[in-house]
Chains A and B, each alone.
Chain A
Amino acid sequence: GIQVEQSPPDLILQEGANSTLRCNFSDSVNNLQWFHQNPWGQLINLFYIPSGTKQNGRLSATTVATERYSLLYISSSQTTDSGVYFCAVWAGKSTFGDGTTLTVKP
């Protein structure tokens, strides 16, 4: 099956810093989503982005499907951005990466 690798596994930032999270996948995909899992465990949709670039406030994402990767950018990070960020891809069925755990310190 398709492999999904996220990096870095852990990231610690000071409030106000910027960060880039990466998702690599091993084969062509039909769909890609980024999620934020909050401290209560709920997965919150960030972006549905099988290709191209999207922005939503301080967050943006880019997927280069031909090169099999996606990037999530977080600018001016806030403590509420803390949590685990997952990317998930669909190629017949869904596969999640193991996530990047982000800690933003005040």
Chain B
Amino acid sequence: EAGVAQSPRYKIIEKRQSVAFWCNPISGHATLYWYQQILGQGPKLLIQFQNNGVVDDSQLPKDRFSAERLKGVDSTLKIQPAKLEDSAVYLCASSLDRLADTGELFFGEGSRLTVL
């Protein structure tokens, strides 16, 4: 069974530029998560989708971050314009359980963003 796929693995941009990350979850997984992990910290939830609806985006900086999950499968996370403090690893995860709060989470390899 294929795991969670993410791309690109690495991205370097100048501040005020834009960037987009893509995630394809494990087939059949209803719940998809985007996390931000800053060096030395644990992952922080940015947004959680249940199929193609948003369950929680309370920690998403909506003035610059956006995310969508069309057709309830793959998802895109966009940052525009980027700031220096956005340098982090962006992790995508998925879960089979439709209750979202009780399913086992599986992570992709992450997308490492450096903002100069």
Binding site for B on A (CB under 8 A): 4, 30-31, 33, 35, 40-45, 48, 50, 86, 88, 90-99
Contact = CB atoms under 8 A, between A and B. Distances in A.
Nearest to A29: B101
Contacts of B107: 35, 42-45
A55 to B, nearest CB: 17
A50 to B, nearest CB: 8
Closest 6 CB pairs of A and B: A96-B42, A43-B107, A48-B104, A30-B101, A42-B109, A90-B101
Interface string B13-56: 00000000000000000000100000011111100100000001
Contacts of A30: 101-102
A86 B42 contact: yes
A95 B107 CA distance: 15
Contact of B89 (A41, A45, A91, A96): A41
Contacts of B101: 30-31, 90-92
A44 B93 CA distance: 11
Contact of A90 (B44, B89, B102): B102
Interface in B88-103: 89, 91, 93, 101-103
B3 to A, nearest CB: 9
Given A31-B103, A98-B40, A98-B41, 8 more contacts: A41-B89, A42-B107, A42-B109, A43-B91, A90-B101, A90-B102, A92-B101, A94-B48
Interface centre among A40, A41, A86 (most CB of B within 10 A): A41
Nearest to A96: B42
Contacts of B105: 33, 45, 88, 94
Interface centre among A4, A48, A91 (most CB of B within 10 A): A48
A9 to B, nearest CB: 10
B57 to A, nearest CB: 10
B24 to A, nearest CB: 16
A90 B101 CA distance: 6
